[in-house]
Chain A
C-alpha cells in the first residue's frame, strides 16, 4: 500500500469512526440505561487514558517514573483547590524537574 493510500485510508476511517458516534439517533440514547452509559463513557475512557499515559511503557508494561510523580503533585494540587492552569503547570514542572535531576526518567 503506498504511503498516500495509508494516509488517506487511515484518515477516512478515523473520520468515519468520529462521525459514527455523532449520527447515532438521539432517540436510541434516550433510554435511562443507555443515556447513563453514554454519559459515563467519556469519564471511563479518559480515566483509562490517563492511567495508560502515566503508568505504562511503550510496550504496555507497568512503570512508575517522572509521570507518576507529576500526577501525584497534580492530584494534591487539585485536592487543595488549585486553579486549572496551576495544576497543569505544576505537573509539567514536576516531570521536567524529576527528569532533569535524573531521578525518575
Chain B
C-alpha cells in the first residue's frame, strides 16, 4: 500500500469485477469479513437468549434476526418489550436506530452498482459491519467483495446463533466477559484507519465522535449518531469543487 492518499472506489462506472483483485488481497478481505462475522455472530447468542427472556417466542425471535437484521435495533426492541414498554415505543426506537443503515445505503449502492433482486439483498445486508468493511477497502473490487462477504457471514452466523441462544440460553455468558463489545469498536477503527490518514476525513471522524458524545446524555438512542453525521454534511459542503469529488 502506498503512502499517498488512498484512492477510493469510484462508483459503478469504475473498474469492476472481482477478478481484478489479487489473491493475497482477496484473502485479506475475506479474513476481515470472517472475523467481523464471528465477533458479531457471537452476540447473536445473547440476543436469542434475551429475546426469549423478554417474552418473545422462538419464531418471533428468529423473525427479528432474519427480517429486521440490525443488531442495535433488535436489542433495543426486545429491551423495551422486556421492560414492559409499548409496541409503539419499541418500533419507534428500533426504527430510529435503523435510520443510519439508510444513510449507509447511499454510498454502499454506489460502490456495488447492483439492481433488482440483488439490490434488495444488498439493502437487507446493509448494516454497520458490512458498510465498514466495504468503505475500509482502498479498491472497488475489494469493497464489493468485503460488503457481500461480511454481510453474508454476519447474516448466517447471527441467525444461527440467535436460534442457539433462544433454544438453550446464553451458554457463553455475558459477551462482555470476553471483551466482545470492545472487539467491535476496535474492528471499526481498524477498518477506517487507512482513510484516517486523510486530514479532512480525520477531522470529520473526530467531530462526529465528539458531537455524538455531547448529545448522548440528552437524546434518545440512535439520535446522537445521526446528529453527528452532520459533520459529513458540513465537510461535504465546505469545499465543493475539489477534483477528488466523491472520493
The digit string for A1-21, where 1 denotes a CB below 8 A from any CB of B, is 111111111111111011111
Q: Contacts A19-B120, A48-B225 hold; do A85 and B218 have CB atoms under 8 A apart?
A: no
Per DSSP, chain B at the interface is helix
Per DSSP, chain A at the interface is helix
Interface members, chain B 18-60 (any A CB < 8 Å):
28, 31-32, 35, 39, 55-57, 60
B152 within 8 A of A: no
| Chain A residues positioned under 8 Å from B128 (CB to CB) | 46, 49
A100 CA to B177 CA in the complex, in Å? 8
A50 within 8 A of B: yes
Interface residues on A, range: 35 or more
- Count of B interface residues, CB-CB < 8 Å: 104
B190 within 8 A of A: yes
Q: Contacts A21-B106, A46-B131, A48-B209 hold; do A3 and B31 have CB atoms under 8 A apart?
A: no
Interface members, chain A 53-105 (any B CB < 8 Å):
53-56, 59-62, 66-67, 70-71, 74-75, 78, 84-85, 87-97, 99-100
A37 CA to B233 CA in the complex, in Å? 5
Interface centre among A1, A3, A44 (most CB of B within 10 A): A44
A38 CA to B131 CA in the complex, in Å? 13
B171 within 8 A of A: no
Q: Contacts A18-B98, A18-B123, A84-B32 hold; do A47 and B205 have CB atoms under 8 A apart?
A: yes
Q: Contacts A1-B86, A17-B101, A60-B217 hold; do A45 and B81 have CB atoms under 8 A apart?
A: no
Write the residues of chain B forming the contact surface with A, with a CB cutoff of 8 angstroms.
8, 11-12, 28, 31-32, 35, 39, 55-57, 60, 63-64, 67-70, 73, 77, 81, 86-88, 90-91, 94-95, 98-110, 119-120, 122-124, 126, 128, 131-132, 135, 176-193, 195, 201, 204-213, 216-219, 221, 224-226, 228-233, 235-237, 240-242, 245-247
